[in-house]
Structure 1
Amino acid sequence: MFCLALQAIKSNKLFILDHHDTVIPYLRRINDNTTSKTYATRTILYLQNDDTLKPMAIELSLPHPDGDQFGAINKVYTPPPADQKEGSLEEIIWQLAKVYVSVNDSVSHELITHFLHTHAVIEPFVIATNRQLSLIHPIYKLLHPHFRDTMSINAIARQILINGGGVVELAFYPAKYSMEFSSSLYKDWNFTEQALPQDLKKRGMAVPHPESKHSLRLLIKDYPYAIDGLDIWSVIRNWVSDYTSLYYKTDEAIRSDTELQMWWKELVEVGHGDKRDEPWWPKMENREELIESCTTMIWIASALHAATNFGQYTYSGYMPNRPTNSRRFMPVEGTAEFEELRENPDRAFMRTITGKLQTLLVISLIEVLSMHSSDEVYLGQRDTAEWTVDLEAAAAFERFGKALAEVEERIVERNREEKLRNRHGPVKIPYTLLFPSSGAGMTGKGIPNSITI
């Protein structure tokens, strides 16, 4: 068994969904001081020959009763044997273990991937751009459409969603610790690692490969977010490169632009002031740094937010699929809860996951979040044709729009390939979250220019 595991690791067949280290520092307070009863989780997944991931083991962890200095109490669950009868107790326990993983994944998605890594981190860029760059500055014209309504929607969120006693605290298991939990993860934030190629490499989903498309080789070939995302990333980067090259012919032009330098200084030293001394910040001394930084900002505000936001109702509108809370621990043999799990597993599951009121709040929330407004402005569009009088810039933008249309065609073609099982999943929902255009309403596709919901 050890040799097989070692071989799987060497051949990049094992992956981990790790919700342990982020959750465990808060778990004692959550379980002691709220109605939630949950675990920190780690899940080992095996990459099968059809490029799908199969969970092989789940570790549920609780703080040590004698103190954090003793580590955690861990228990590992594995799938029942293949010849096990359907509906066996072992299968029921395995399904319940997966519930706790789903709870952690829902909370991580909403508080970290969605709120922290898009809504929150983009605010300093919005503020510094409006404070330091004049309306006629080329970089202001480039970035301004990607900041539309973001400050407004974040202000509304602080009033009714992430405020004390708001929807998030009522419906997600960190409860009153939700914003502290989210904010604490900012210590690990790295602006350069939000560039999609860097993100994929950091997470072990891709390795450098100069001869491959985008100079990356994906370790999971059928990975829709990465495949579609890299196409979008490349098109954005080409647009930013074409546009900025019109105004900055040399690296010296970057260094001598006083407005640009003051903008970057405020971003680093004030906007993200507690990160000001991090060595990974670009110095903004050459064109490559400007192109990569602007591409990353546009990516965060447009495609990254779209991919994390507009599919929420599709995947989470049925609460048992993506519960946001667990109210009971794994039942212990010999207790009434264990007998209930054995005799009526559906009722045991429903008594474990998010309650009725919280379910209504979450479903109402994600239904609103998953909607496109009728006046949405999408990637490759501008809300006014007079955004620039520079004919070369307008021509570059037109090329950008055509390139995005080509990406749409490729996504449609990929979704027609039945052998790409991850593009549809077991319930046959095609992956369209990075399809650039959309109409109003809940479409499950469309990349708005900015974070407007």
Structure 2
Amino acid sequence: MFQNIMDGFKGKPKKENVRTIKGSVVLMKKNVLDFNDFTASLLDRIAEALGKRVSFELISAVEGDPGPENKNLGKVGTATYLEGWNRTLTPPDARESMFNVAFEWDEGMGIPGALIVKNLHCHQFFLKSLTLEDVPGKGQVHFDCNSWVYPAKYYKYNRVFFTNESYLPHNTPEPLRKYREEELVNLRGNGQGKLKEWDRVYDYAFYNDLGLPDKGPEYGRPVLGGSKEYPYPRRGRTGRKPTKKDPKSESRLPLVSLDIYVPKDERFGVVKMSDFLAYALKSIFQVSFTELKAIFDKTPNEFDTFEDVMKMYEGGINLPDGSVLRKIRDMIPFEMIRELIRTDNERLFKFPMPQVIQTDRSAWRTDEEFAREMLAGVNPVIISLLQEFPPKSKLDPNIYGNQNSSITEEHILKNLHGLTVDEALKKNKLFILDHHDTLMPYVERINKTSTKMYATRTILLLREDWTLTPLAIELSRPHPDGEQHGAVSEVYTPAHEGVEGSIWQLAKAYVAVNDSGYHQLISHWLNTHAVIEPFVIATNRQLSVLHPIHKLLNPHYRDTMNINALARQILINAGGILEHTVFPGKYAMEMSSVLYKNWVLTEQGLPADLKKRGIAVEDSNCPHNLQLLIEDYPYAVDGLEIWSAIETWVKEYCCIYYSSDASVKDDTELQSWWTEVRDVGHGDKKDEPWWPNMSTLSDLTNTCTIIIWVASALHAAVNFGQYPYAGYLPNRPTISRQFMPQPGKPNYDQLRSNPDLVYLKTITAQLQTLLGVSLIEILSRHSTDEVYLGQRATPEWTSDVAAKKAFERFGKKLLEIEKQIEQMNNDEQWKNRVGPVKIPYTLLFPNTSDVSHEGGLTGKGIPNSVSI
């Protein structure tokens, strides 16, 4: 009889139809992934010698075991073991190891559909894949595993992996159904206890881990999520104990620790972590702001001239002496990072030259560039059509009084090129960058700190060559007698000489401060990072890896939970980098929660967003059925091409598996997934009427297109331009420290003699600049192992030929889009694509043709996921 791993079959003779199936296993050992952890290799060699090995057991997708205890589970074949584990000591710079395996397989059990892996070693390893050759009746069978396998003692269940076949729940082979269901149960966990690194649990929690109430009231932060006052998307649960002073808040890890829990399979890979350490953790000391501030207080915390700013890129900022450098070095807990901090009085803070000043160091000051960056810069998602003049506020007048704009026709008439305001409105010539209503509720509180800022409105004119020029900037603050008395506003118009010219430059700086803060907190963090995490969690909890929609979406979740966890640990937490470098300070995350109230999933797709902002109108005679009111709008032009390509790919893919609306409605896993996304992941918005019903194929394809767009193209557009544009802080200041100079005041008189000094003393200070630029340098870098839109980490991601062909068509379309972008960037008629600063617009350049996969500050490429 065929020897089965089940005890009842042991010792029986083999059947005649048992044959040997050869295969290959690809994995990475722990000592490889932990760089120099040779102890792991030694202990596992000992375990091998003692007979504690790594075993593999194939599970039939055809033949079930009818025994009463087995419930028709697929029959399990004879165990086979990895051979040769202990023959050599794997060098620490290796990546993957391949092992040959051979299975005894009864042909009567049909085709294998799943696999049990048992690790009896002392340490975990990363199992990449198993490939079987010459399987009877099938040929090659591939298991795309990509998962950490910890020692079996850490699990209360078998580690089961499935082949790269795709099945809707009702189409799943009967012998595999129970395995499929049990795996999802394991991934959900029981909602209790502190989660350990080997736990594979995807669960939800509020953002209640940002504050440190035990440290003092000034470090307390409101819990985000679970209330009408502070709604928020959910984040991954860690299960840490509550703080002593606030039982609703979760305790935090030590500030220098990056070991915050996320499911191990969601952690950075070895190459990504290596890149992150090399480029990011060289600045780990930034989290100890208090100690650094004490160091910098020994030197002037100011840039006195723009030449001083340029030292950041040309020579580095000189810190006091070797003892101070040694102090900074000793604050860093990683040996390999400490080597990056020299103690021989070398300059420390030296940054790459940002693109915005590479060709021309003063072009960023021009009105044309100021306006162009609203269309092609780091935050091109806010500008909208001005539909009424003067602009009206939507803030509650019972609370905030009259907040309507004080800009008049007299302010802008001289620059309308002969048009009246009514004529300009009718011709769709007026646009607005409006941060007034968003920020006004916070201005009074923020201005009680060291920050001094305004809520701004900027009105712009669309010229005949499709470029924009600013017409007026309104700076507003709450009335000194109280918010209920309305706004006190000043309006500034373009000037380019003398004190008036300096005042105008400052007005643009206050606008840039507003836009920088909104960009970082809302356009970037909230609208990509935070809103995607619930989809990551729900997909892993409710959609099996066998589900075609899991296969469609999973690449677009890579590293998201890990980077978000790191953000909560050192970036968006109380006293973290963001609070010290962006104007809302301690109100930053609270403000993002208030703005989440306006988030609507169905408006996150590009066409819906453009129509909402009045930038596009429906027109069946135009590409994508949309007419852009600004034809030279690089983000929208390239974005619509990318959106359309994603949409086509998603529709083609989904139609392979769903033949009708009924098949969508009847998909039990899909319905559970959607219910959980709506009712739990984004539970504070579960009663909103705009949620798709997920009852039609159109609901499914539209939703998946939006998810992929947000995680890939939208994130790329608002993330990877940060260093090119904001790496030079005078162009994108994040804080303003004094109000606009007024006649009769000393700083107003100083505008005549030294306008640059007034500008630099108004915007972000030296220390905050160094911290902020360090941060955005990290965020703007592509990892060398990045997987871009139109690519997959492995060609064996699915066995479905139709899906692979559709994906090939998607990749070819992205290559065509790359060529179109290059052509437009080289065409001088499209002035907004390059601008005065000579930066070609490549933030939505897919990068599928770049086979070298260069990392770093490339300023181009659309990664599949929110991975940094």
Question: Would you call these one fold, judging by a TM-score over 0.5?
Answer: yes
Higher helix share: 1
Q: Does 2:712 align with 1:297? A: no
Distance 1:442 1:90 in 2: 37
Of 331, 334, 342, the residue aligned with 2:741 is 331
For 1:306, the aligned partner's letter is: A
For 1:12, the aligned partner's letter is: N
* Aligned twin of 2:437: 21
Structure 2 residue matching 1:55: 3-state secondary structure: strand
Deviation at 1:87, TM superposition (A): 2.9
Of 270, 278, 288, the residue aligned with 2:680 is 270
For 2:552, the aligned partner's letter is: L
Deviations for 1:143-172, whole angstroms, at most 9, x for unmatched residues? 000001100000001111101101100011
Q: Does 2:571 align with 1:161? A: yes
Of 593, 615, 625, the residue aligned with 1:205 is 615
Structure 2 residue matching 1:320: 3-state secondary structure: coil
Distance 2:541 2:751 in 1: 59
Distance 1:78 1:436 in 2: 39
* Aligned twin of 2:589: 179
Aligned counterparts, 1:339-350, within 5 A: 339-350=749-760
For 2:780, the aligned partner's letter is: S
Distance 1:186 1:129 in 2: 22
More relative contact order, 1 or 2 (CA 8 Å, 6+ apart):
1
Distance 1:189 1:107 in 2: 18
Deviations for 1:233-254, whole angstroms, at most 9, x for unmatched residues? 0000000000000000000000
Structure 2 residue matching 1:21: 3-state secondary structure: helix
Of 422, 433, 453, the residue aligned with 1:38 is 453
Aligned counterparts, 1:394-433, within 5 A: 394-433=804-843
Aligned counterparts, 1:378-389, within 5 A: 378-389=788-799
Of 418, 425, 436, the residue aligned with 1:9 is 425
* Aligned twin of 1:112: 522
Structure 1 residue matching 2:627: 3-state secondary structure: strand
Structure 1 residue matching 2:730: 3-state secondary structure: helix
Q: Does 2:608 align with 1:192? A: no
* Aligned twin of 2:628: 218
Q: Does 2:847 align with 1:452? A: no
Distance 1:276 1:258 in 2: 20
Deviation at 1:343, TM superposition (A): 1.8
What is the TM-score when the length of structure 1 is the normalising length? 0.97
Deviation at 1:21, TM superposition (A): 0.5
Structure 1 residue matching 2:437: 3-state secondary structure: coil
Deviations for 1:172-218, whole angstroms, at most 9, x for unmatched residues? 11111111111111000010000000000111110111111000000
* Aligned twin of 2:163: none
Deviates more, 1:231-240 or 1:332-341: 332-341
Deviation at 1:357, TM superposition (A): 0.3
Aligned counterparts, 1:252-267, within 5 A: 252-267=662-677
Distance 1:38 1:403 in 2: 45
For 1:159, the aligned partner's letter is: Q
Structure 2 residue matching 1:121: 3-state secondary structure: helix
Distance 1:57 1:291 in 2: 42
Deviates more, 1:254-263 or 1:432-441: 432-441
* Aligned twin of 2:221: none
* Aligned twin of 1:370: 780
* Aligned twin of 2:693: 283
Q: Does 2:809 align with 1:393? A: no
For 1:426, the aligned partner's letter is: P
Of 637, 643, 651, the residue aligned with 1:241 is 651
Where does structure 1 differ by over 6 angstroms across 4 or more consecutive aligned residues?
Answer: none
For 1:127, the aligned partner's letter is: I
Percent pairwise identity: 63
Distance 1:67 1:335 in 2: 25
For 1:217, the aligned partner's letter is: Q
For 1:393, the aligned partner's letter is: A
* Aligned twin of 1:83: none
Of 63, 68, 82, the residue aligned with 2:483 is 68
Distance 1:400 1:323 in 2: 39
* Aligned twin of 1:440: 855
Deviations for 1:331-351, whole angstroms, at most 9, x for unmatched residues? 111111111122210000000
For 2:474, the aligned partner's letter is: E
Of 424, 438, 462, the residue aligned with 1:47 is 462
Structure 2 residue matching 1:233: 3-state secondary structure: helix
Q: Does 2:762 align with 1:352? A: yes
For 2:470, the aligned partner's letter is: P
Deviation at 1:388, TM superposition (A): 0.3
Distance 1:380 1:90 in 2: 50
Deviation at 1:88, TM superposition (A): 1.4
Distance 1:413 1:337 in 2: 48
Deviation at 1:230, TM superposition (A): 0.3
Instruction: Compute the RMSD of aligned alpha carbons.
Output: 0.9
Deviation at 1:272, TM superposition (A): 0.7
Give 5+ residue unaligned stretches, structure 1: 81-85
For 1:326, the aligned partner's letter is: S
Deviations for 1:327-376, whole angstroms, at most 9, x for unmatched residues? 00001111111111222100000000000000001111111111111110
Deviations for 1:18-70, whole angstroms, at most 9, x for unmatched residues? 010010001100001x2100100000000011111100001000011111111
For 1:444, the aligned partner's letter is: G
Q: Does 2:494 align with 1:79? A: yes
Structure 1 residue matching 2:518: 3-state secondary structure: helix
Distance 2:716 2:459 in 1: 28
* Aligned twin of 2:562: 152
Structure 1 residue matching 2:447: 3-state secondary structure: helix
Structure 1 residue matching 2:470: 3-state secondary structure: strand
For 1:150, the aligned partner's letter is: T
Structure 2 residue matching 1:22: 3-state secondary structure: helix
What is the TM-score when the length of structure 2 is the normalising length? 0.51
Structure 2 residue matching 1:23: 3-state secondary structure: helix
Distance 2:747 2:721 in 1: 34
Distance 1:325 1:308 in 2: 19
Distance 2:778 2:746 in 1: 39
For 1:75, the aligned partner's letter is: E
How many equivalent residue pairs? 447
Between Structure 1 and Structure 2, whose CA radius of gyration is higher? 2
Distance 1:13 1:398 in 2: 41
Distance 1:155 1:227 in 2: 34
Deviations for 1:285-334, whole angstroms, at most 9, x for unmatched residues? 10011000000000000000000001110000111000000000001111
Deviates more, 1:67-76 or 1:190-199: 67-76
